[in-house]
Homo-oligomer: A and B are copies of this chain.
Amino acid sequence: MANFKGHALPGSFFLLFGLWWSVKYPLRYLNQKMKSNCRSNQCYQRLELVEGILKAVFALVGILAEQFVPDGPHMHLYNGEDKSWVKLMNWQHSTMYLFYGISGVIDILVYSPLKVPQGLDRLALFLAVFIEGLLFYFHVHNRPELDQHIHSLLLIAVFGGSITIFIEVFLRDNIVLELFRTSLAILQGTWFWQIGFVLYPPWGGPEWNQTDHENVMFITMCFCWHYAAALILMAANYFLVHCCLKREKRIMGEVEIGIRKLKPDQNGVEVALLNQSDEE
């Protein structure tokens, strides 16, 4: 779908996942650090399962939408009369969604009792992102300079993300890698929107001169600003999560102290334990 919506939709998808991860990973990390046991490991596994199901459902919806929109291929691949392929763009997008769907299904299998090896969920996500990059890479041949450039910047985010996820196969639950992946997902999301705005201005307006080198230079810089914005957004979410957890812990502590006041004879040992966990 070579129009504004065709870029805004996948952009929103990546943005959504990026924002959700920018809350989830700090939450898990800070929970572990603060040793508040209100959220267990099992709880996070259930979250991953939900994420997997969502991914699979989204992918299915995406495939169906790409196929059955009014100007879609309706599952026809080859037109025997014209001897030409039918709507290859939509088919390519369907293919991309297919691999995100596979990634979702493997997430589900890993957290089900089927003993599927754990690293496979990261490997499947790596494959989905890599294949997205592969399809994009062969997608932008024979286009004007600015068009090619703006897409090749996207490829930096895509392949950067896929390398990060591949490393995660071996260094699972590494908070730095997870936050890096999150930032690249947000970057991808906002950059898809940016591509839409540049190539298909939604409210009309003058078109960009596609061969002006100044424009290419501005777009490169703009890409960096998007990333800076993504980092600032993540930092904001991190501190929000930090504050929430701190307040929650304080309330929990007060409740505990309140409970203890009612049973003063068991107090001695517990206060000592509480002090210990505070010092850590």
**Which residues on A are within 8 Å of B, measured CB to CB?**
29-30, 33-34, 84-85, 88, 91-92, 95, 98-99, 102, 114-117, 119-120, 123, 127, 131, 134-135, 138-139, 141-142, 149, 156, 169-171, 174-176, 179-180, 213-218, 220-221, 224-225, 227-228, 231, 238-239, 242
Contacts and interface: CB of A to CB of B under 8 A. Distances in A.
B170 A120 contact: no
A169 B174 CA distance: 10
Contacts of A156: 134
Given A141-B213, A142-B213, A227-B131, A115 B30 contact: yes
Nearest to A145: B141
Which of A85, A127, A176: most chain B Cβ within 10 A? A176
A180 B123 CA distance: 8
A123 to B, nearest CB: 6
A214 B85 contact: yes
Given A85-B215, A131-B224, A134-B220, 15 more contacts: A85-B214, A88-B217, A92-B217, A92-B220, A95-B225, A99-B224, A99-B228, A102-B228, A117-B179, A123-B180, A134-B156, A134-B224, A135-B224, A138-B220, A141-B213
B88 A218 contact: yes
Contacts of A218: 85, 88
Nearest to A180: B123
A131 B156 CA distance: 11
Contact of A115 (B135, B228, B242): B242
A259 to B, nearest CB: 27
A131 B226 CA distance: 12
Given A220-B134, A220-B138, A228 B84 contact: no
B169 A176 contact: yes
A242 B95 contact: no
A220 B135 contact: yes
A77 B66 CA distance: 39
A85 to B, nearest CB: 5
Contact of A221 (B92, B179, B216, B227): B92
B176 A98 contact: no
Contacts of A169: 176
Nearest to A223: B134
